[in-house]
A and B are shown apart, each in its own frame.
Chain A
Amino acid sequence: MTRYILRRLLQFIPVILIATFIIYAMVFAIPGDPIRALGGDRPMSEAVQQTLRDQYNLDDPLLIQYFKYMAGVAVGDFGTTFQGRPVTDIIVQRLPVTLYLAFVAVIIQIIIGVIAGTLAAIFRDRFIDRLVQVSSVLVVAVPILAIAFGLQFVFGLQLGWFPIAGIGSGFYSYILPGFVLASVSTALVARLLRNSLVETLQSDYVRTATAKGLKRSRVVGRHAMRNAMIPVVTFIGADLATMLGGAILTEAIFNLPGIGQEVFRAIQAQEGTVVVGIVTLLVLFFVVVNLIVDIAYAFLDPRIRYE
């Protein structure tokens, strides 16, 4: 197992390096001189410009710049903005908002998705199954923008239950964006669990569990569910990484000061260090989460063995 983890990590190193390099190159290849742009109307002295250039290694070839930057990242230094603010500071300040949002979304996804999927499977082909199936199709088919504005309009403006922007109301501020971010995943979890549980309920070992004289609740809740959850847990894990991408849009619509909004702002302001810092963090997160999912898979399903 240890060897497997090591090998996976090694395999991922080139993926991380090249992915971040491409982002780095794109951000710093933006036409125009970011240093001059920084000065705005007031032209900076040549000396100040040169200091900044040296600080960001802007006169080095791109590849060298990149490796100097990554060497910093390796020891936890994500560089500084042109205004001299450490990127790590920005991340520390913004990340909690995004993590909170993702946390609310995952909780919604697990609670609603699992309950809906389980009910649909138990009452297979009955009304509740149809309801779950149709609504999951609808949620997946409607674009996220429409869901977001729809919820804002109805629950924010018309009913006034939840705020539609900012994080001023604490937990309440996260409910609508949480639902938006979780919507598609919740529908997919419900559908996945429903199908997986339906299949499991027909399996021989569930029949054995009934023949052992176990209560129906134990047969379904323990013997069937433990098997049916395997693909669902894998999906939720892998989806967590996708969710951080979705956070950019959600944070923009609901004006949440999270890492997604920050990266978007930084891209438009051409603040390369911030963009690359955050993207590197996200890619690392993606890689680690995927690895954890694979390892969790081996624990959930004893038949899987990694060498």
Chain B
Amino acid sequence: MTETTDAAEQARTAPDSTSAPLLEVRDLQVEFHTKAGVAQAINGLNFTVHPGETLAILGESGSGKSVTAQTIMGILDMPPGKIAGGEIRYRGEDLLTMPEEKRRKLRGVSISMIFQDALSSLNPVFPVGWQIAEMFRIHRKMKKKEAKQEAVELMRRVGIPAAEKRVWDFPHEFSGGMRQRIMIAMAIALDPDLLIADEPTTALDVTVQAQVMDLLLDLQKEYNMGLILITHDLGVVADVADKIAVMYAGRVMESADVYEIYASPSHPYTRGLLDSIPRIDGGEERLKAIEGLPPMLTNLPAGCPFSPRCPMATDLCRTERPELERVVDGHYSACHYSAQIYDDLRGGAA
């Protein structure tokens, strides 16, 4: 057995108590240095993922979801990106200070990622089977034939019909759904502990979306992976996530388990998002959209970044940035008035 596999094996057999987090992001700050100035893509991000748990990161485009995913994976383009502070602990070890070679051996092996657009994310000039088999050849030092056999197995597992025959086909010869299945096969090939899925179904037809999401969740249970699901789609989140973190302007605005968020959203932004989804029992009521646009990341407001769009904003909100604080156990919110909102909701329900 090689060094790589040993390390991965060791990581897997380590005591797996639910209290030990798989991934901890602490006060992460990421900037982009552009001609237009410095954009604060992530400022002070905090969240935790436990083994086997699904965390959904929810947010509009530009809220820093994808940057978060890329920073965890270590595939952020630097420059223009720059990690200005914080830490990302994987099983207690900080990925950001780890030697690059050690970190590389975690990529694809212990932490892997699925991208939004499978067509552009798969290399157009290599057969799909080759691209999957590469995982085994590089990280497990397998022979070509053996690796190809593994690739066929995986393609079968993710539901590609006639996998044996299609293993040497190229990405463009598959449908969108099938391509995303191939991306998934590649990501789970080495049985990772943590899977990051960045908008995995956004580019797909609605009917295919459900199938791919089902596959992803099946695999997550089967392999007991931690899953970070990045999405802007509240509908997807409700069915699959254990916990939700709502992001806005590079920060977590509110986080809690999924029932808690839906039952008692304690941040005006979360409430705005929930009000904007159509409901079957919605009746005559018009959908409410959140007024205004997300702030420019190069020029964030002094106080709460949501304050310019917030219907409840006060002078306090415009001058002082609220930190992410406990509302009740397991429920955090970054709003000066979240306790009040929470109580109102509970009071109203009671």
Contact = CB atoms under 8 A, between A and B. Distances in A.
> Is there direct touching of A and B in the complex, by C-beta distance under 8 Å?
yes
Interface of A: 202-205, 207-215, 218, 223, 226-227, 230, 300-303
Given A207-B75, A218-B138, A301 B124 contact: yes
B18 to A, nearest CB: 27
Q: Which 8 A-B pairs have the closest CB atoms?
A: A213-B107, A213-B108, A204-B120, A205-B123, A212-B108, A204-B121, A302-B170, A208-B121
A209 B113 CA distance: 11
A300 B170 CA distance: 12
A230 B134 CA distance: 22
Contacts of B104: 213-215
Nearest to B108: A213
B138 A214 contact: yes
Contacts of A210: 74-75, 107
A114 B295 CA distance: 44
B143 to A, nearest CB: 18
Given A210-B75, A211-B108, A213-B105, A301 B125 contact: yes
A300 B126 CA distance: 10
B106 interface: yes
B240 to A, nearest CB: 22
Interface in B96-147: 104-109, 112-113, 115, 117, 120-126, 134-135, 138-139
B120 A205 contact: yes
Interface centre among B106, B108, B125 (most CB of A within 10 A): B125
Contact of A303 (B117, B124, B135): B124
A258 B70 CA distance: 58
Nearest to A205: B123
10 contacts: A204-B120, A205-B124, A208-B183, A213-B139, A214-B104, A214-B138, A226-B123, A226-B125, A227-B123, A227-B124
Contact of A213 (B70, B77, B109, B183): B109
A215 B108 CA distance: 12
A208 B170 contact: no
Contact of B117 (A204, A214, A223): A204
Nearest to B73: A211
Contacts of B113: 211
B318 interface: no
B91 interface: no
B122 A212 contact: no
Nearest to B103: A213
B93 to A, nearest CB: 16
Nearest to A200: B123
B186 A212 contact: yes
Interface in B175-206: 183, 186
A208 B77 CA distance: 13
A49 B77 CA distance: 79
A19 B198 CA distance: 57
Contacts of A300: 125
Interface string B142-183: 000000000000000000000000000010100000000001
Nearest to B105: A213
B123 A209 contact: yes
Given A213-B106, A213-B107, A208 B122 contact: yes
Nearest to B69: A211
A212 B109 CA distance: 8
A207 B134 contact: no
B107 A212 contact: yes
Given A211-B107, A212-B135, A302-B170, A227 B125 contact: yes
Given A209-B123, A211-B75, A302-B125, 5 more contacts: A204-B121, A205-B121, A213-B138, A227-B123, A302-B124
A223 B108 contact: no
Interface string B61-103: 0000000001001110100000000000000000000000000
Contact of B122 (A205, A218, A226, A230): A205
A303 B121 CA distance: 15
Nearest to A206: B123
Interface centre among A204, A211, A227 (most CB of B within 10 A): A211
A214 B120 CA distance: 18
Interface centre among A203, A207, A230, A300 (most CB of B within 10 A): A207
A202 B76 CA distance: 11
Contacts of B75: 207, 210-211
Contacts of A213: 104-109, 138-139
Nearest to A212: B108
A212 B106 CA distance: 9
Contacts of B107: 210-213
A213 B106 CA distance: 7
B172 A303 contact: yes
Interface centre among B112, B124, B138 (most CB of A within 10 A): B124
Nearest to B119: A204
A71 B126 CA distance: 46
Contacts of B108: 211-214
Contacts of B139: 213
Contact of B123 (A202, A208, A215, A230): A208
A230 B125 CA distance: 10
Contacts of A212: 107-108, 112, 134-135, 138, 186
A258 to B, nearest CB: 38
Nearest to B74: A210
B121 A207 contact: yes
A99 B73 CA distance: 51
A213 B110 CA distance: 10
Contacts of B106: 213
B282 to A, nearest CB: 37
